[in-house]
Amino acid sequence: MSTDEFTVTPYAVEGEVDYDRLLDRFGADELTAEQRAKFPDPVHPLVRRGVFYAGRDLDPFLAAADAGEPHSIVTGRGPSGPMHVGHVFPFYFAKYMQERAGTTVYVPISDDEKYFLKEQSLAEITDHARENLRDILAVGFDPERTRIVLDTADADIVYPLATAFAGEITQATVDATYGDPENVGLSFYPAVQATHLLLPQLVEGRHPTLVPIAVDQDPHVRVCRDVAAKERYPVDKPGALLSKFLPSLEGPGKMSSSADAPSLLLTDDRETIREKILTHAYTGGRTSVAEHREHGGDPSVDVPYQLLHSFFEDSDDRVERFAAEYREGTLLSGELKEIAAEAIADFLEAHQQRRAALADLDEELAPFRLTDEERATARSRVGLPDGGFG
Ligand code: TRP
C-alpha cells in the first residue's frame, strides 16, 4: 500500500489517514471559525483546538442551541471492551453541551453491532456493556435530558424502528458504504444505527440533532441522512461533528485499542498512567538532552503534548507555553510526559470517584430509560400502533 492510500470505514481504519482528503471523499465540510465561535462559551477545547475539525449540517443545531430551542446530541458506544480515554471524550463533550445549552443527549449502546463484529460471546459483550455504562453514567448526565438505550435490552423500541428504516436501505448502499458485510447482522446494523440517530426526533418531535463522532463513523450518518431525506418519516437529517482520532501512545494517526502500545484505560490509577506514558509515549523530542536543548523538539508529533492540547489541558496559556518551550528546547520530553501524566491522572481520578459513587447499575439506569409513553410516541411516528398488538 503506498503511503497516500488509506481506508476509513466503521469497521476498518488502515493506512495514514489524510483528514482533508477524507472530507472530499465523504463530502463533509471543514469547520469554519464562525461555526467554532457559535459553540457555548467558553468553547470546548476539542472544538477550539480542532480535534472536532469538520461537520455536516452543523448550523441548524448551533442556531437551536443558541436560541434555547429543542436540539439533541446522539453519542453512542459499541461495547467491545473496556473504555480508554479516546472513547470518553465525546461523552464529556456532550455533557459540556448539556450543561451550557440544555442539550438533550441520547446514548445508544450497540451490543448487537459488536457481537456481529468481534469474536466475543453475547455474555462477554454484555459484561463490557455494563462496565461501559458505569463509565458513561460517571460522566454525570442529567436524567431529565438524557436517554440511554441498549439495543438488545430495548429491542421493543429499537427493532420496530430499525425494521421501518431497513426497508429504505438497499444492500447495494450497504456494500458501497461499508464494504461487503461479513454476515447478515452487519448488513442490517446500519438500520439500527439510523434508529439511534433518529430516535431523539421520533420521541420528541422534529428538531436538529448532532452526532459528534470520530470520522470513521461518518458512513453511518450518511446512510441515516439518506433515510431521512426520503421524508417518509417526520425527521430532519441529523448533522455530524467529525473528530480526528486521538493519538495512541505509539504516535499520531495510529489510534487503536488493539495496537501494541497499551491504551490509557479509564480504570487506570495514577501510577499506571505515569508508567504507561513514561515507557510508551512517542515523543517529538531529540535523542539527547543536549541536542534537545540546542535544537528543540516538535510538539506536533509529541503524544504527551497532543493529549494535553486536544483534551486534558483547558488553559490556552499553558498549552501555548508548553509548545513554545518545547520548540525552544527549554522544556524536555521527560518533563512534558510528567505534566501530561499528571493532567490525565487528575481527570481520571475525578471520573473514577464519580464511578465509584454509583449505586447498583440497574437502579442508576432507571431514570435514563425511555418511558412507556416515549416508546409509544416513537412507534407511532413510524406508523406502528401505540400499544403494540396485545
Ligand atoms: N458504532 C459506534 C462504534 O462502533 C457506536 C455507536 C452506536 C454510536 N450508535 C451510535 C456512536 C450512535 C455514535 C452515535 O463505536
Whether 119 has a pLDDT exceeding 90, the answer reads no
Sorted by sequence, the CB contacts under 8 Å of residue 152 that are 6+ apart come out as 111, 112, 122
Centre of ligand 1 from the C-alpha of residue 326, in Å = 37
- The residue ranking higher by pLDDT, 43 or 256, is 43
Checking if the pLDDT of 382 tops 60, the result is yes
What is the rounded average pLDDT of the residues 307-326? 96
Nearest CA to ligand 1 atom 4: 78
Residue 389: pLDDT band with limits 50, 70, 90: low
Q: Does residue 4 carry a pLDDT above 70?
A: no
351 grid coordinates: 471520573
- 317, pLDDT greater than 90: yes
What atom in ligand 1 is closest to the CA of residue 77? 5
Ligand 1 in contact with 113 (CB < 6 A)? yes
Beta bridge pairs of residue 25: none
pTM summary value: 0.94
**What is the mean predicted confidence (pLDDT) over 270-289?**
94
C-alpha cell at 233: 418519516
Distance of alpha carbon 198 from alpha carbon 46, whole angstroms: 25
Cβ atoms < 10 Å from Cβ of 351: 19
Sign of the four-CA dihedral 143, 68, 54, 307: negative
Residue nearest to atom 3 of ligand 1 (CA): 78
Grid cell in block for residue 145: 435530558
Residue 247 pLDDT: 82
Ligand 1 mean position, distance from CA 196 (Å): 8
User: Confidence band (pLDDT; 50, 70, 90) for 390?
Assistant: very low
Q: Where are the domains of the chain?
A: 6-244, 256-356
Asked if residue 243 has its Cβ within 6 Å of ligand 1, the reply is no
Cα of 125 to ligand 1 centre, how many Å? 15
Mean pLDDT, residues 314-320 taken together: 96
Grid coordinates 453514567 are at which residue? 137
| Average pLDDT score over residue span 113-126 | 92
133-171 pLDDT tens trace: 999 999 999 999 999 999 999 999 999 999 999 999 999
Q: Are strands 104-109 and 72-74 parallel, antiparallel or unpaired?
A: parallel
pLDDT band at residue 19 under the 50/70/90 scheme = confident
146 contacts 105 by C-beta, under 8 angstroms: yes
Residue 2's pLDDT is 44
Cα-to-chain-centroid distance, residue 307: 16
Question: What percent of the chain shows pLDDT beyond 70?
Answer: 96
Report domain 6-244's class: alpha beta
Across 261-284, average pLDDT: 94
Mutate to test the pocket of ligand 1, among 11, 72, 87, 110 (most ligand atoms within 8 A of CB): 110
* Per-residue pLDDT at 242: 95
**Cα distance between residue 219 and residue 240, in whole Å:** 11
pLDDT over 90 (residue 261): no
Mean predicted confidence (pLDDT) in 81-93 = 95
Across the range 16-41, mean pLDDT stands at: 89
pLDDT tens-digit map of 175-227: 999 888 999 999 999 999 999 999 999 999 999 999 999 988 999 999 999 99
Q: Check pocket membership of 76 for ligand 1, CB cut-off 6 A.
A: yes
Would the CB of 83 count as within 6 Å of ligand 1? no
Dihedral sign for Cα 298, 276, 15, 49, please: negative
134: Cβ below 6 Å to ligand 1? no
Instruction: Name the residue at shortest CA distance from atom 12 of ligand 1.
Output: 76
The reported pLDDT for the residue numbered 81 is 94
Neighbours of 373 (CB within 10 A): 10
Instruction: Please tell me the predicted confidence (pLDDT) of residue 283.
Output: 93
Q: Ligand 1 within 6 A of 285 CB?
A: no
Which residue has better confidence, 22 or 226? Answer: 226
The grid coordinates listed for 389 are 398488538
Pocket lining: 81 vs ligand 1, CB cutoff 6 Å: no
Mean pLDDT to the nearest integer, 368-379:
96
**Residue ranges of E strands in the chain:** 6-9, 12-15, 29-30, 52-56, 72-74, 104-109, 146-150, 209-214, 239-243
- Centroid of ligand 1 to alpha carbon of 108 (angstroms): 7
Mean pLDDT taken over the chain: 93
Q: Is the pLDDT of residue 328 over 80?
A: yes
pLDDT at 1 (0 to 100): 42
Mean pLDDT value across residues 252-259: 53
Q: Check pocket membership of 211 for ligand 1, CB cut-off 6 A.
A: yes
Q: Which residues contact 360 (CB under 8 A, 6 or more apart)?
A: none
SS3 state of residue 388:
coil
Residue 245's pLDDT is what? 85
Between β-strands 209-214 and 239-243, what pairing exists: parallel, antiparallel or unpaired?
parallel
Would you state the pLDDT for residue 258? 52
Give, for ligand 1, the residue of 189, 211, 213, 224 to mutate: max count of ligand atoms closer than 8 Å to Cβ. 213
- The amino acid that residue 164 corresponds to is A
pLDDT cut 90: percent of the chain above it: 84
pLDDT of residue 141: 98
**What pLDDT, in 10s, does the model give residues 332-364?**
999 999 999 999 999 999 999 999 999 999 999
Strand partners, 209: 72
Pairing verdict, β 52-56 and 29-30: antiparallel
Architecture in CATH of 256-356: Orthogonal Bundle (1.10)
